[in-house]
A and B are shown apart, each in its own frame.
Chain A
Amino acid sequence: MNFLYVTKKLLSAFLTLIAVVIFNFFLFRVVDRDPLAKYRGRSKLSIAQREIMIERLGLNGSKWQQFITYIKSTARLDFGRSFDSTRPVLREISDRLPATLLLVGISTILTILIGVYIGARAGWQRGSRFDRVSTSATMVLYATPEFFFGMLLLAFIAGRTGWFPTGGLRDVGADTSGFASILDRAHHLVLPSLTLTLGYLGSYSLIMRTSMLETLGEDYLTTARAKGLRDRDVMMRHAVPNALLPSVSFIAISFGFVIGGAITTETVFSYPGLGLATADAIRNTDLPMLQALFLVASSAVIIFNLLADLTYGLLDPRIGRAK
């Protein structure tokens, strides 16, 4: 990986972001003829208040002027106020971002680690007991939507045993600082992250298994065996590093679905993160919130893909290593 490759990827991520920002402008101007119809402020709007709101939302003037206003405020991260709570959208989002980052981060790491392990081993030992059992299991996981796991976990584990809370971020009235609070939050995270992990484990491990199968016939594996390496080392040192390459791209592409999964998972567990905020904003047609949430989700996908590209560059010496 060289400087040129990194620059190219950064630039392309940046341009994609710009395109998303521009797209966002049009998207939210065609959804509703009267964006204020669903405004649920504290009282009904008077004509004068309406005028003020329209100006605040940047909906006055020609489309071109509106566009300029939109770009300027987006650049300042000023997304206006939520129709629902009337608090600044940026505040709403920054309050909820950590919870979602934690949930999606933990689930993604778990999914990748477990999925890659299962897929690599199943592919390597094709047709073995491990392969048959894990492939059937991951097929089922793959075919099941994540909210279903959420509901199962909620009903059977949280509901029956009471070992885990049924929702929320922390216990009401619990300490908000110190070690106890960390434990409490972790306790609340277990079922949602398990749900999200189960939801995407199937696709990640099936992807890795397929890449592994494609690697099995490669000549360099025969070379490695001929050298006298044990089977495990042939797999870990030669097969896995090569099979990871196509998986990295697939995993990056599927990250958008994980974000979708976060919305349903947070809704099922009333976990107050950005996913739940999105569900609420959709229900309330809270346009300023939706607009900002859409940007956040798109940026997350763009950043994740950028990370994947950089990882790929690190793993594959053939990428951008001009000589």
Chain B
Amino acid sequence: MIDSPVLKVRDLYVTYQSSFGPVPAVRGVDLDIALGETLGLAGESGCGKSTLAMALLRLVPPATQISGSILLDGQSVLTMKPGQLRLVRWAQASIVFQGAQHVLNPVQRIGSQIDEAIQLHHGSTSSTVREMLALVGLSDGCADDYPHELSGGQKQRVMIAMALSCNPLLIIADEPTTALDVMVQAQILQLLDNIKRERGLSMLFITHDLSVLSHNTDRVAVMYAGRIVEVGPAEELLRGSIHPYSRALAESFPIIGDPKSRHQPKGLAGDPPDPNSLPSGCPFHPRCNVAIDSCKSIDIKLSAVTKSIDRQVACVHANDESRSVK
């Protein structure tokens, strides 16, 4: 299925440098996204989703350590020269950032912000600002507006227009609907879905909320404490997750639009771990209700489960039929 993936990530580690010392935010992630495929990436706040997204285009702060490999359309992002990296950014992969409120320059007109990207990569695109605005359902007039004159949903549309303007292979959508109200969320999701289908784009769709993944993703990866703990075909995984954390997350499908229900999955006590002081063994063990003694010392690697070739899980109980997980 994944012959020549658009994105191929191997053993990715991202460690921020903070005044309190190194912060290992992503710890050994493998990821593949095929052409035209959408991978959903879910996990609680702070598990490293945005860090992973930013690292894909080397957008993390300069002092940050990144290791492993990232192949974007076969090109190695982590080893390329800055000049090459600038050509790859936006033309190969673009990002719809989390929190559209501040991602547009407040003192530059919308049109010129979109045009800036088009001019920069005019080799790869012949789109015009007008076409891009029309594509996301905005009027021509928006080109002359400044960001503060638009609503949150409109700004997110502008961001999507901008992300599409250079015809990338991959779009990274980092919680594209957080901070929007329910109606607008649905519209934006629909818009992304349509565009993706029309253009045959690959997408990495990041969210807190497993429920939005069911209808618009092909595969889903669940992230915990900087690692992927379970990955598999979307429907299969969402219907019957194997990893105790995925299950807790799936059971806690939050009420859309209620921010309180989003951060605290139901039936999952405690907070996500602080990357500075991760628990020993399986980092989920302090919150896991099926943990056994060895979980405190042994950290199980992500590996294929016997019952399905497409599923990978990182848990001692992964192949444990008798302890069938409810």
Contacts and interface: CB of A to CB of B under 8 A. Distances in A.
Q: Which of B87, B109, B120 has the most CB atoms of chain A within a 10 A radius of its CB?
A: B120
A219 interface: yes
B266 interface: no
Contact of B103 (A222, A241, A316, A321): A222
Contacts of A129: none
Given A226-B89, A227-B89, A219 B102 contact: yes
Interface of A: 218-220, 222-230, 237-238, 241-242, 245, 315-318, 321, 323
A228 B89 contact: yes
Interface stretch (B27-35, B93-101, B302-310): B93-101
Given A222-B59, A226-B95, A321 B86 contact: no
A315 B106 CA distance: 10
A321 B97 CA distance: 27
A228 B97 contact: no
B103 A223 contact: yes
22 contacts: A220-B102, A220-B103, A220-B106, A223-B162, A225-B59, A226-B57, A226-B89, A226-B90, A228-B90, A228-B91, A228-B121, A238-B105, A241-B107, A241-B108, A242-B105, A242-B107, A315-B107, A316-B107, A317-B109, A318-B146, A318-B148, A323-B149
Contact of B97 (A223, A238, A316): A223
A229 B120 contact: yes
A321 B104 contact: no
Contact of A238 (B108, B146, B149): B108
Contacts of A220: 102-106
A19 B269 CA distance: 65
Q: What are the nearest 5 A-B pairs in CB distance?
A: A228-B89, A219-B102, A317-B146, A228-B86, A220-B105
Nearest to B100: A219
A238 B106 CA distance: 9
Nearest to B146: A317
Contacts of B109: 317
B212 interface: no
B274 interface: no
Contacts of A225: 59, 89
Given A219-B102, A220-B103, A242-B106, A226 B59 contact: yes
B71 interface: no
B139 to A, nearest CB: 14
B117 interface: yes
B175 to A, nearest CB: 13
Interface string B32-65: 0000000000000000000000100101000000
Given A224-B116, A226-B57, A318-B148, 19 more contacts: A219-B99, A219-B103, A220-B105, A222-B54, A223-B105, A226-B97, A227-B116, A227-B117, A227-B120, A228-B88, A228-B89, A228-B120, A228-B121, A229-B86, A229-B116, A238-B108, A242-B106, A245-B107, A318-B146
B90 A227 contact: yes
Interface size class of B (residues with CB under 8 A): 20 to 34
Contacts of A323: 149
A222 B116 contact: no
A218 to B, nearest CB: 7
A5 B120 CA distance: 36
A318 B106 contact: yes
Given A219-B99, A237-B116, A230 B86 contact: yes
A228 B166 CA distance: 11
A237 B59 CA distance: 18
Contacts of A315: 107
Contacts of A238: 105, 108
A166 to B, nearest CB: 46
A227 B54 CA distance: 12
Interface in B99-130: 99, 102-109, 116-117, 120-121
Contacts of B86: 228-230
A227 B125 CA distance: 14
Nearest to B54: A222
A318 B103 CA distance: 16
Contacts of A226: 57, 59, 89-90, 94-95, 97
A284 B89 CA distance: 70
A238 to B, nearest CB: 5
Nearest to A231: B82
A229 B108 CA distance: 15
B148 A224 contact: no
Nearest to B91: A228
A238 B117 CA distance: 13
Contacts of A245: 107
A228 B87 contact: yes
A150 to B, nearest CB: 38
Nearest to A318: B148
B90 to A, nearest CB: 5
Nearest to B85: A228
Q: Which of A224, A228, A229, A241 has the most CB atoms of chain B within a 10 A radius of its CB?
A: A228
B59 A224 contact: no
A317 B104 contact: no
B97 A317 contact: no
A229 B149 CA distance: 25
Nearest to B92: A228
Contacts of A227: 89-90, 94, 116-117, 120, 162
A218 B102 contact: yes
Contacts of B117: 227-228
